[in-house]
Amino acid sequence: MVNGFYHFIREAWKKPDVKVLRQRMIEWRHSGVFTKVDKPLRLDRARALGYKDKKGIIVVRVRVKRGGHKRPRPAKGRRSKRMHTNKNLMINYKTIAEQRTANKYKNLEVLNSYQIGKDGMHYFYEVICVDPTKPEIRNDKTINWITKASNSARPERGLTSAGKKSRGLMDKSPMSKTRPSVRAGKRRGK
């Protein structure tokens, strides 16, 4: 069996060079939260998620701060049952990165994203965005579905793969009440 170019990129990303990645993350920390990049860093992952090197498709590197997703503990005036600090966020950092990118670039639609690194303080993602107004996108049969109005605001509605995962739609177990959503299944069970 002969392996192609993308196979070797995928294998290289399983154990990346620590020194190179650390140097990159130092630069990313000092750059802005949102940075448009010319080419995706993980070409194999980007291509698998729908990236094409053509007009109308933009890759944005996003920095998301880690931690801080717990409610602060009340100082006083609560009974002990209410004094614990639950995690108040049901979505993952990838979804947060996609939602923030969608809010920043309102004229673009988020296609998908993938992680490119993390350090003690931040997660770094590359988010693939599409400009639905470009004729190159409208005439491309494989991606012109995103130009329809029903596909707008995808991250906010949980329609990207990270959003679907947080909604519990990726679980294929016959025992899980995942449709229409985990939360709907919990409400129905009461």
Render pLDDT for 62-105 as a digit per residue (tens, 0 to 9). Answer: 999 988 777 777 787 777 777 777 776 778 899 999 999 999 99
| pLDDT tens by residue, 113-151 | 999 999 999 999 999 999 999 999 999 999 999 998 888
The answer to whether the Cα torsion of 183, 158, 82, 65 is positive or negative is positive
CB 163 within 8 A of CB 98: yes
Would you kindly state where each structural domain of the chain is located, as residue ranges? 5-151
* pTM of the predicted structure, to 2 decimals: 0.83
Fold classification of 5-151 is Ribosomal protein L15e (3.40.1120)
Residues of the chain above pLDDT 90, percent: 61
Give the Cβ contact number of residue 58 at 10 Å: 18
